[in-house]
Amino acid sequence: MNILLEIMLATPFIGGLLAFIGGKVHRWVRFAVAVTFSFLTLIEAFVYYNVTIKGVVWGSLFGSKLILQTNPISWLFLFIVTAMSFLIVIFSIGDMEEDRIKLDSYYMQLLFVEGAMIGIVLAGDLITFFMFWEIMSWTSYFLIIYGGKKSVAAGYKYIIMSIIGAYSMFIAIAMLYVKAHSLVYADVATTLAHSSATFVVWTVVLLGIGFFVKAAIMPLHTWLPDAHSEAPSPVSPLLSGVLIKMGAYGLFIVLYGFLSVQLAGNIMPSVFSTPILLYIIQWLAALSIVLATFLAIMQEDAKRLLAYSSISQIGYVVLGIATGTSLGVAGGLFHALNHAIFKGLLFLAVGAVIYRTGTRNLSDLGGLVKKMPYTFTALLLGIIALAGVPPLNGFVSKWMIYEALLQKKEVFLLIMAFIGSTGAFLYVYRLIHSIFLGQLPKKYENVKDVPILMQVPIWVLAVSTIIFGIFPGLAMNVIVKGMKLFGFKPIAYTLFGFPQGTAMGALKVINISAVLAIAFVAAWVLFLILSKSRKVSQYDNYAAGQVVTPELKYNYSFGFYMSFGRVIKSILKLGIERIYNYWVDAAKIFGDYYMRRVYTGNLETYNSYIVIVVTIAAAAILLGGKLW
Amino acid sequence: MVNLANPILLVVIPLFFTFLIALSGSFLKSGVKYLPVIAFALNIIVSLALIPEVVKNGMVIATTAGFKPPFAIDMAVDKLGLFLSLIASLLGFVASVYNLFYIDEEPQEKFHALFTLLVAGLTWMIITGDIFNLFVAFEVTSIAAFGLVGFHRDKGAIEAGFKYLVMGSIGGSFLLIGIIMLYAATGTLNIVDIAQKTSNLTFQQKLFPFAMIFTGLGIEGALFPLNAWLPDAHPAAPSSVSSILSGIMTTAAIYAIIRLTNTIFDFNQIYFFLMIFALLTLIFGEVSAFFQKDIKRMLAYSTIGQTGLFFFAFSLNTVNGLQGAFMQMVNHSLSKGMLFLVVGGMIMQVGSRNIDDFAGLGRKMKVSSFFLAIGAFSLMGLPPFFGFWSKLKIIFAALQNANAFLVASVVIILLMSVVEGAYFFKLLQVMYFGKQEKDVAVKEASYGMLFSVVVLGTVLLIISFYPAPVINFMHKAAAEIINKNYITLALKLGGL
């Protein structure tokens, strides 16, 4: 059974190569291979459901063993990776069908990214982890730039920031290697346990920079809005739903696999009974939640809106993980799964809209509800889940995070988390309103719903939002078991929620949903009884002396939240990106200036360099080698 | 049956072919171009035949003219020398195959003669056990290279060739001065013999010849600020020559510095100084490469940067550091050698060296672009390519016993790697996703040229996915150099 770990890791890579070769034969061969192999990987992943394997040695490098391992936490992420990849492959078949030329290596890259992410979650040592981390970076770069002209610039920003993040991790890994000459997780934990506080903080910070770049935690998020919105439709859910979770996974491993709350508490001061390092991470996450929510509200581009929303939602994940309590960490991990599901769903649904209309500009869309009813329903489920309304899946995980913060009495963070959640209502409403409600532009009168191959993944995810919403125990089963391995107190749970008398208090999603449903029905009935409205046609309207025609747009769709935007103007102006750009430009000018003065192209100058070197050497000799 | 495991053959075969080409050029006409291919194929066979011997004894020594060292000239091949000569022969072979389809300008026989001489000189430099021979090989290499850089005979090439000529000659003079001083101090030219006699010299007595030799070899080895000829010469030369210049010449010169520093000049005080050179080389190389519009110039600057990287690893003066340096040398030789060959084919098709004109080549020259991407990835040090393993090793080695300066150096190295990533990814995205504005008919490079590229690419991929043998071999080679096994082995095997 252990050898299967290696096979599972190899499956997507082999599949990718075969898909590339198959594409030369016929495109259906390519599709068939891609679907088969991503499905195979998913099946193989299920073999490891709730299985813990301590370590399979698959090689050794510079005296450090290379290890693959799995445990329920790894499995959670493995499940996210394999399931989403499979759905995305299916969606791609429908979506990317049209330009055949560009698809040459698309599935290869897609499966390679999947393989790299599997490698990350299965890694049992930091070299393996880092290796697959880098492979993930460059393969996903190639996926992003499939999107055309604009995406190239976005991809460039992404890869440069990824490399910077990766090298920051690299320094930490090298520091750890030098200390213990082994990078197996268990040995790293021992090394850190016997290290000074400074060393531990440096290691965590350097590793954390790498993870935060990938997880797009502010202020390292600037690549995400561009990359996620410019990437092709099927790639965005992979990036937003899955890839940024790798940062969260890495953070979890570092904080609780290498360190532990007790250990961190021993070597550094605590605030709100949280080690200060974790507390800072919590604040960064909370700032991400709030600022990204505000930015999402102001977007005019559907995918950009979702991209900012991803930054805000990954903020919840990181906030939960950084609380350090069983409840909070479980909530964070659960939210990672939930976010993958509903953000995947939203991106795919928006992708479906783009597929039919060719635009993702919110102000150009509208009234598609009658034309694309299935997509509308799925997207509706997605936004309800995102907003954290029961009975869908975003509710429970967010609730757990709130509860954890409340128990720690971290009121500010709690308020920020609430703001993020409330703000989410604003932007998700914007999303569904601008695309599906309101007036249908004339050019979209012949729009149909998307083909079945694109519907299937959307609806699988839509149903999942309900399943994981009503049965949070399904996920808790894995998470709690896994967290026990990392030394957390297990929290009691049932299939439907949390029983009375646990750390959290009773929570049963069905009951809450029932209450909500009753309230909803009551309101509906009241509305039906009491309303004096009559049904009118959309154009049976009157606007300032003008009769409304289908050509005339009369509902708001541009600058939807303009007055709100004025309130938060100072925040929007913050412009972290401008600061980065300023430094990059300054470095470029500086570099160019000096390069031109060194390599002048003038032979006399060049020869004088030789003279300078010889002079320095002569000086060294005269001084007896004591130049410094 | 001739005993093939003789290092002298590595030099004699290509030298013989050089003269053969020069002599037969007038009546064989275009036939001469096949002669270098034969010469380097033979060289590869000899190198391969040497492997078991070197693995068994640790070193193979061959003497000439019936005398015994230190009076006779000898060739000494240890693990590192063997590996580099194998790479030199391989690059020479693929580049000469490439030349069959690449060189159509006259005078062909002169080009092929010089080309063979260039690789012969480089191999000679690597395997020589005699310090005066090192100088001779250095000059042979330089003379061949001067001619080849100016081969295209346009204004740029001649200017570049002239600059190189001046600076290279100065370098040769310094090298010679250094050698003369060593000879004056010790009375011998054999490396092992000198090494035994330098122990009773004072630091200053050793430092002067070292400074001279370092300056001389540093010019060839592209160390900042002695490398100013390189960004002109590499782009001006025909691509197959650039491939050799970038792939082996800098490596060979750095190899000679490593060899001499560790064997003859046994001092520890100098390494900090060398490290500063290495870091400056790295910074100026990579940053300049970022600003280039000319693709070959960009690769040339990148060569400077890479040289800085492996020279830095060497200047750590530890087994691990040296191992990292050797791994990076191998990586650089193969990847950069391959990149220049690929780019040569592309320039032939596009008719320009400007990066912007390479737009859209990823779709039209699929095989070439694929191997260009692999070479670039390996140079950037992205997994799973070999550059990743060597970069890992270098950083690990640098942080061993780290002080603040070394940590700062590591940060600089990684920052420069980011810069390297920035220009290589810029190139790749122009190639794969740029839009070609000019309407030029571009097709894939000819099969013969692709053959060379594919051979190098395959070797690179093999050692990327199966790095353990190379890593272990390099570890042993590095340990031998640090532990001064070279001297003991040479003494045992009659190198003295």
- With a CB-CB cutoff of 8 Å, which residues 393-412 of chain B face chain A? 393, 395-396, 398-400, 402, 410-411
A-chain residue closest to B411, CA distance: A171
Query: Is the separation of the CB atoms in B46 and B123 below 8 Å?
Result: no
Burial letters for B408-440: b for 16+ Cβ neighbours within 10 Å, e otherwise?
Answer: ebbebbbbbbbbbbbbbbbbbbbbbbbebeeee
Burial level of B18, CB count in 10 A (0-12/13-18/19+)? buried
Highest mean pLDDT among A430-439, A483-492, B192-201, B312-321: B312-321
Predicted confidence (pLDDT) at residue B495 exceeds the cutoff of 60? no
- With a CB-CB cutoff of 8 Å, which residues 113-132 of chain A face chain B? 127, 130-132
Chain mean pLDDT for chain B: 85
Specify the length of chain A in residues: 628
**Distance (Å, rounded) from C-alpha A32 to C-alpha A74?**
28
Nearest to B429 among A145, A599, A620 (CB): A145
- With a CB-CB cutoff of 8 Å, which residues 272-331 of chain B face chain A? 272-273, 284, 287-288, 290-291
* CB contact (8 A) between residue B215 and residue A614: yes
Region A519-542 average pLDDT = 78
Instruction: Tell me whether B168 touches chain A (CB under 8 Å).
Output: no
Predicted confidence (pLDDT) at residue A339 exceeds the cutoff of 80? yes
- pLDDT at res. B319: 87
Tens digit of pLDDT for each residue in A406-459? 888 878 888 888 888 888 888 888 888 888 887 777 777 777 777 777 888 888
A296-300, A307-311, A508-512, B325-329: range with lowest mean pLDDT: A508-512
Strand ranges for A458-573 from DSSP E: 497-498, 507-508, 542-543, 546-547
B-chain residue closest to A145, CA distance: B433
For β-strands A270-271 and A274-275, DSSP reports them as antiparallel
Name chain B contacts of A167, Cβ cutoff 8 Å.
414-415, 417-418
Q: How many CB atoms lie within 10 A of CB A91?
A: 28
Region A145-154 average pLDDT = 77
Predicted confidence (pLDDT) at residue A565 exceeds the cutoff of 80? no
Query: Is the separation of the CB atoms in B61 and B493 below 8 Å?
Result: yes
Burial letters for B320-345: b for 16+ Cβ neighbours within 10 Å, e otherwise?
Answer: bbbbbbbbbbbbbbbbbbbbbbbbbb
- pLDDT at res. A101: 54
Q: How many CB atoms lie within 10 A of CB A109?
A: 23
Name chain A contacts of B162, Cβ cutoff 8 Å.
603
**Distance (Å, rounded) from C-alpha B211 to C-alpha B220?**
15
* Cis peptide bond prior to B107, omega within 30° of 0: yes
- pLDDT at res. B331: 92
- With a CB-CB cutoff of 8 Å, which residues 93-112 of chain A face chain B? 101
Burial level of B270, CB count in 10 A (0-12/13-18/19+)? buried
Region A230-244 average pLDDT = 85
Mutation for testing the A interface, residue in B294, B309, B425 having most A CBs under 10 Å: B425
Region A86-113 average pLDDT = 76
- pLDDT at res. A544: 67
* CB contact (8 A) between residue B421 and residue A159: yes
Helix ranges (H only) for A26-148 are 27-47, 72-95, 106-122, 126-144
Query: Is the separation of the CB atoms in B256 and B217 below 8 Å?
Result: yes
Mutation for testing the A interface, residue in B227, B280, B377, B382 having most A CBs under 10 Å: B382
- The CA-based angle A40-A45-A49, given to 5 degrees, is 145
**Distance (Å, rounded) from C-alpha B399 to C-alpha A176?**
10
- pLDDT at res. B232: 85
> Is the Cα dihedral A561, A565, A567, A572 positive or negative?
positive
Band of the pLDDT at A49, cuts 50, 70, 90?
Answer: confident
Predicted confidence (pLDDT) at residue B14 exceeds the cutoff of 80? yes
Name chain B contacts of A613, Cβ cutoff 8 Å.
215, 218, 225-226
Nearest to A178 among B402, B432, B433 (CB): B402
**Distance (Å, rounded) from C-alpha A253 to C-alpha A243?**
16
Predicted confidence (pLDDT) at residue A497 exceeds the cutoff of 70? yes
- pLDDT at res. A572: 67
Query: Token pair for residue B495?
Result: 């190198």
Strand ranges for A138-291 from DSSP E: 270-271, 274-275
Band of the pLDDT at A555, cuts 50, 70, 90?
Answer: low
Tens digit of pLDDT for each residue in B228-260? 888 888 888 888 889 998 888 889 999 888 888
Distance, CA of B1 to chain centre = 33
The gap between the terminal CA atoms of chain A, to the nearest Å, is 60
Instruction: Tell me whether B270 touches chain A (CB under 8 Å).
Output: yes
Give the residue with greater pLDDT, A193 vs A559: A193
Region B6-32 average pLDDT = 82
Band of the pLDDT at A215, cuts 50, 70, 90?
Answer: confident
Band of the pLDDT at A553, cuts 50, 70, 90?
Answer: low
* CB contact (8 A) between residue B211 and residue A167: no
Band of the pLDDT at B160, cuts 50, 70, 90?
Answer: confident
Region B418-433 average pLDDT = 86
Which residue matches tokens 């909370």? A286
- A42 phi, psi to nearest 5 deg: -60, -45
Q: If we measure between CA atoms, which residue out of A245, A392, A393 comes closest to residue A321? A: A245
A-chain residue closest to B276, CA distance: A628
- pLDDT at res. A500: 67
Query: Is the separation of the CB atoms in A404 and A273 below 8 Å?
Result: no
A115-119, A419-423, A579-583, B425-429: range with lowest mean pLDDT: A579-583
Band of the pLDDT at A625, cuts 50, 70, 90?
Answer: low
Instruction: Tell me whether A598 touches chain B (CB under 8 Å).
Output: yes
Highest mean pLDDT among A207-211, A472-476, A608-612: A207-211
Q: How many CB atoms lie within 10 A of CB A527?
A: 10
**Relative orientation angle of helices B319-350 and B250-263, to the nearest 10 degrees:** 170
Nearest to B231 among A145, A599, A620 (CB): A599
Chain mean pLDDT for chain A: 81
Tens digit of pLDDT for each residue in B453-478? 899 999 999 988 888 888 888 888 88
- pLDDT at res. A99: 55
Q: If we measure between CA atoms, which residue out of A300, A284, A343 comes closest to residue A557? A: A300
Region B47-75 average pLDDT = 77
* CB contact (8 A) between residue B284 and residue A595: yes
Query: Which residues does residue B354 pair with via DSSP β-bridges, in sequence order?
Result: B294
Band of the pLDDT at A550, cuts 50, 70, 90?
Answer: low
- pLDDT at res. B11: 85
Q: Alpha carbon of A91 to those of A140, A496, A593: distances in Å?
A: 17, 31, 49
Nearest to A152 among B207, B291, B433 (CB): B433
Query: Is the separation of the CB atoms in B150 and B157 below 8 Å?
Result: yes
Instruction: Tell me whether B429 touches chain A (CB under 8 Å).
Output: yes
Residues 6+ apart with CB under 8 A from B154: none
* CB contact (8 A) between residue B382 and residue A138: yes
Distance, CA of B362 to chain centre = 28
Mutation for testing the B interface, residue in A621, A626, A627, A628 having most B CBs under 10 Å: A621
Mutation for testing the B interface, residue in A179, A592, A603, A604 having most B CBs under 10 Å: A603
Name chain B contacts of A164, Cβ cutoff 8 Å.
418
- pLDDT at res. B176: 92
Nearest to B425 among A159, A170, A594 (CB): A159
Nearest to B399 among A61, A178, A607 (CB): A178
* CB contact (8 A) between residue B395 and residue A170: yes
Region A24-47 average pLDDT = 82
Band of the pLDDT at A157, cuts 50, 70, 90?
Answer: confident
Burial letters for B384-394: b for 16+ Cβ neighbours within 10 Å, e otherwise?
Answer: bbbbbbbbbbb
Tens digit of pLDDT for each residue in B366-397? 888 889 989 999 998 888 888 888 988 898 88
**Distance (Å, rounded) from C-alpha A295 to C-alpha A468?**
29
Q: If we measure between CA atoms, which residue out of A300, A147, A304 comes closest to residue A225? A: A304
B-chain residue closest to A164, CA distance: B418
The pLDDT > 70 percentage for chain A reads 92
Name chain B contacts of A131, Cβ cutoff 8 Å.
383-384, 388
**Distance (Å, rounded) from C-alpha B156 to C-alpha B153?**
8
Name the pTM for this structure.
0.89
Region A221-236 average pLDDT = 82
Name chain A contacts of B171, Cβ cutoff 8 Å.
610
* CB contact (8 A) between residue B396 and residue A174: yes
- pLDDT at res. B335: 92
Give the residue with greater pLDDT, B494 vs A567: A567
**Distance (Å, rounded) from C-alpha A361 to C-alpha A365?**
7
Instruction: Tell me whether B135 touches chain A (CB under 8 Å).
Output: no
**Distance (Å, rounded) from C-alpha B318 to C-alpha B483?**
10
Query: Token pair for residue A398?
Result: 């967010």
Query: Token pair for residue A28?
Result: 């259906």
- pLDDT at res. A427: 85
- pLDDT at res. A503: 62
Predicted confidence (pLDDT) at residue B436 exceeds the cutoff of 80? no
- pLDDT at res. B332: 92
Taking the CA of residue A317 as centre, how many other CA atoms within 13 Å lie in the half-sphere pointing to its CB? 33
**How many angstroms away from the CA of B273 is the closest CA of chain A?**
9
* Cis peptide bond prior to B231, omega within 30° of 0: no
